[in-house]
Amino acid sequence: EYPIPGKLDVIKKVVYFLAEYDHQEIHYQKEELLNAYLLSYSDALNAFQWDNLKVILQQANDYIKELMEKNHV
């Protein structure tokens, strides 16, 4: 959560979800999102403009890799 510069009393909250994907159709709430995309890890890294967002994606990727190693997947 962080305040929006120039907008008093406005707090932006961003939530990222990790999920397993196996070629299912994407369903999302169009009232809440402008769009949804499926990207490879490298394409997703390139899609982010800000380094702090890339770090979040890298941490999520590391977390998934760790779980897969732990579960011998």
Residue carrying the six token digits 């579960």: 71
Interval 14-68: pLDDT, tens: 777 777 788 888 888 888 888 888 888 899 999 989 898 899 999 999 999 999 8
What's this model's pTM, rounded to 2 decimal places? Answer: 0.66
Instruction: Please count the residues of the chain.
Output: 73
Which residues, listed in sequence order, are joined to residue 12 by a DSSP beta bridge?
Answer: 2
Supply the pLDDT for residue 40: 86
Single-letter code of the amino acid located at 30: K
